[in-house]
A and B are shown apart, each in its own frame.
Chain A
Amino acid sequence: MQPSPNTGMRGRGKFIVGGVLILAAVIYLIISSTRANAEYFMTVDELQAKGTSLVGQNVRISGAVAGSTIQFNASTNDLSFEIANVPGDNATITAQGGLAKVLHEAVVDPTRKRLMIVYNGPKPDLLRDEAQAIVTGHLGEDGVFHADELLLKCPTKYQEAVPSQASGN
């Protein structure tokens, strides 16, 4: 962008101002939206370690669904279940033998910290024992997590699981 002789700095200036304005708008949008809508992503352990300081904050939390704790009342659509702590990052999960194994161990291990989730809405198809739940909502003062959104993943379907017919050999 060379300033042309007939318009000079004034011509160049208006484009620079325009560009800076757009950039400022984008940054403003990102910051304001982050203030209003960003959520902490935590594990069950981390959430419980922070305790009541997070009450009311938007939090997204991941854990392993304990199938025996799932309760669903179809007439009121009240759903509750417990999730057990699983590590938050993929590297740790991989190091511990993969997501399916980590989820399984989290559910069968009685010493793992658990968190009670309550949700009002349809019971998701994928909500099953040892599914990975990614839950968005906030922690109530009673220590129960009030979910606004449930995202569930069932790793067994996608993973390089060893054929079960052979694993018993």
Chain B
Amino acid sequence: MLAEFGFGMLLMAFFTGLFSIGAAVYGHFTKSIRWVESGRRALQLTFPLVSLAALSLIYELVTGHFELQYVYSVTSRAMPTYLKITALWGGQAGSLIFWSWLLSAFATAVTLRKWDRDREFLPWVVVVTAVTLSFFLSLSIFFENPFARWWQTLNGGLVMRMFAPAGGILFTPPDGQGLNELLRHPGMIFHPPMLYSGFVAFVIPYAFAMAALITGRVDDRWIRLTRRWALVAWLFLSVGLVLGMWWAYDVLGWGGYWGWDSSEVAALLPWLVATPFLHTIIIQEKRQMFKQLNMILIILTYVMVIVGTFLIRSGLLSSVHAFAQSTIGYQFIVFIIIMLLASIGLLIYRWKDLQSATPLTSTSLLSKEALFLLAALLFGGVFIVCFWGIFFPIISEVVTAQKITVGPEWYKQAVGPLFGTILLLMGIAPLSSWTYGTLKTIGRSGWKPAIPAFFVPLILFIVNVRNVFALIGFTLVAYVASVTVFEFWRGSAARSHSQHENIGRALWNLVARNRRRYGGYIIHIAMVMMALAIIGVEMFQTTTQQSLATGQSIQLSGYTIRYDALAQFPYNDGRMVTRAVVSVLKDGKNLGELYPRYDYYPDGQPMTIPAVRSTLAGDLYVVLVNWENNSVSQTPFKVYHNPLVIWLWIGSFVLIFGTLVAAWPEREPETAWESMKIMPVFSK
């Protein structure tokens, strides 16, 4: 019964969505506030409707209704309840419902606000979100129905339908297939919802951007209204990406966190256009420039959100996300093309209205405006590389009938210099001033923080680091960190002087009253930390693999890993656990024990669980390599030393903090006069 109810709710939500599109459009053209209002209410009604559908599905998952094909494919009796709930996004049909659920929630949240000043946007925000929502709901209803069930037919076959075929009786398998054990990890439980929240939240700024284009109100109002949405969406997206890395590092046991797998790159695509968008909208607000660019970036972000969802779900890519055999590829392509063409059409229609109040040519090449543009172009470069990396194999196959693929090395070589330059810009742009900037003005404000960075390569060279790229990388990291900290110091020192506050109070007020700017700088620090980790692992990872008998040891990067003991025992969920005890020693000191594991599940799925000893300087990552057919006297171990990798995780916490600072609602804004008094002025 509940399956029919859930499906009915989906249908109602779909028709409500369609109604809200019609009502909003009709209301706009007949200038009827009541119809627009009706469209808005209808959109809000989709939230309880989709919620009921999603909750029905969750109920079916938790109570083990295996007659539902989706429940059968992602859960099993042995799974704990929390995993059954999270199985909502464990497969394709469920994750589409989850997508719709998030979008209906976000659409409701944004339409609940007061619209007095922005009434002309309302119908179009309703239309764009409702069109997107209706598209995803239609996928669930017509192609990937999570409520479809197994039916036993008279000729002995088993079919999957929503409703009973003629003479068919409901078939309930005794148990489900269960979620792949590799996915039963906190990183994997929260990675999809975070990533999806990020994806879906970007629909809102896009909807406002389209509303601005349609209504012709192309000042920065749409940006001011959605800046916080974009920041929070970016935060979810970033955290989702990091959680995926953490899962890969913690579960897959190959010593890394990012393999340039096409699905990973697909999830990165929206991030690569959203990040410059967050920067260039600042310029539009402050200088009324880059209006065209911002429109292009938000359109690209939205399209990449849909493309990303499509790529991850379509089975187009050969990747670890093996959701092959999708039935919804063409629907996605058609939807993407329609939305892209509509957006581009609107953009061309308003192109002239989007011209900058201040021409770019009146600024110098090293002004803040130009440097932000440069950063956006470099992000665009990384985006092009990644996009090309995904689609080049497909294109080459169509054109030459010969499929060519690109792997991690290809990506690293192509994006490395671009990311390096972006890092450099993070150390220059904060020092530059509006409109006018030369090497001299930047040098004047930047020579002090450059001093510590100057010593970094010297010291590294003395301690025998000879890798040129590593020297450049570490120097850049040190420089950006130094510049960013200096910015905090400079601002609070100036404030402390002019407002007669002690330095701690001044720092607090400085950040509290310029949350966006200093929140951004905190995010820069986070990026520097992550860069540190990436350089550490990419340039200095060491690894060795040896088979040991108990008592023997492996030497790696100054560590001694001694194999002490091995135990094998069944665990209560049926898996057979093989657990080794190894001691880590350095300079004769025992640093503690590690327990790498090899779990073998009853369904034949083995899982290698690395044991990791983390310090700020580096991780020791010990893997008990495949245990089948091995003996206690000959146990193969693989050990990685991953320098600095922990800074990736520390950086992600700093990133969350920085984004929250930047997105926190401002208190009373400081008056122009006050901020002029306290901001040091460097431009002429």
Contact = CB atoms under 8 A, between A and B. Distances in A.
A121 B253 CA distance: 13
Contacts of A132: 322
B320 A18 contact: no
B403 A40 contact: yes
B638 interface: yes
A125 interface: yes
B467 interface: no
A33 interface: yes
Question: Do most interface residues of chain B lie in helix, strand or loop, or is the interface mixed?
Answer: mixed
A157 B638 contact: no
Contacts of B377: 19, 22
B565 to A, nearest CB: 18
A140 to B, nearest CB: 20
Contact of B361 (A3, A155, A163, A165): A3
Interface string B145-157: 0000010100010
Given A15-B361, A60-B405, A169-B156, A160 B73 contact: yes
A32 B626 contact: no
Contacts of B365: 14-15, 18
Contacts of B415: 29
Contacts of A136: 407
A77 interface: yes
Interface string A149-165: 10101110111111101
B552 interface: no
B48 interface: no
B422 to A, nearest CB: 12
Interface stretch (B37-45, B171-179, B528-536): B171-179
Interface residues of B, number: 74
What range describes how many residues of A lie at the interface? 35 or more
Interface stretch (B192-200, B468-476, B600-608): B600-608
B318 A39 contact: no
B333 interface: no
A139 to B, nearest CB: 15
B404 A157 contact: no
Nearest to A121: B545
B158 A167 contact: yes
Contact of B414 (A33, A39, A40, A89): A33
Contact of A122 (B325, B359, B625): B625
Nearest to B543: A121
Contacts of B385: 26, 29-30
Given A3-B359, A26-B381, A75-B634, A37 B608 contact: no
B360 interface: yes
B378 interface: yes
A123 B625 contact: yes
Contacts of B606: 125
Contacts of A123: 625-626, 628
Q: Which of A42, A155, A166 has the most CB of B within 10 A?
A: A166
Interface of B: 66, 69, 72-73, 91, 150, 152, 156, 158, 160, 171, 173-174, 177, 180, 182, 253, 315-316, 318, 320, 322-325, 355-356, 359-362, 365, 370, 374, 377-378, 381, 384-385, 388, 392-393, 397, 402-407, 409-411, 413-415, 417-418, 545, 547, 604-608, 623, 625-626, 628-630, 634-636, 638
29 contacts: A2-B361, A6-B362, A22-B374, A25-B417, A25-B418, A30-B385, A33-B406, A34-B406, A37-B407, A37-B409, A37-B410, A37-B413, A41-B403, A74-B636, A90-B315, A90-B316, A90-B325, A94-B325, A125-B605, A136-B407, A157-B605, A158-B73, A158-B180, A162-B158, A163-B173, A165-B173, A167-B158, A169-B156, A169-B158
Interface of A: 1-4, 6-8, 11-12, 14-15, 18-19, 22-23, 25-26, 29-30, 32-34, 36-42, 60, 62, 72, 74-77, 88-90, 93-94, 98-99, 121-125, 128, 132, 134, 136, 149, 151, 153-155, 157-163, 165-167, 169
Given A88-B403, A136-B407, 11 more contacts: A1-B359, A38-B406, A39-B405, A74-B636, A90-B325, A98-B325, A123-B626, A125-B253, A149-B407, A153-B324, A160-B69
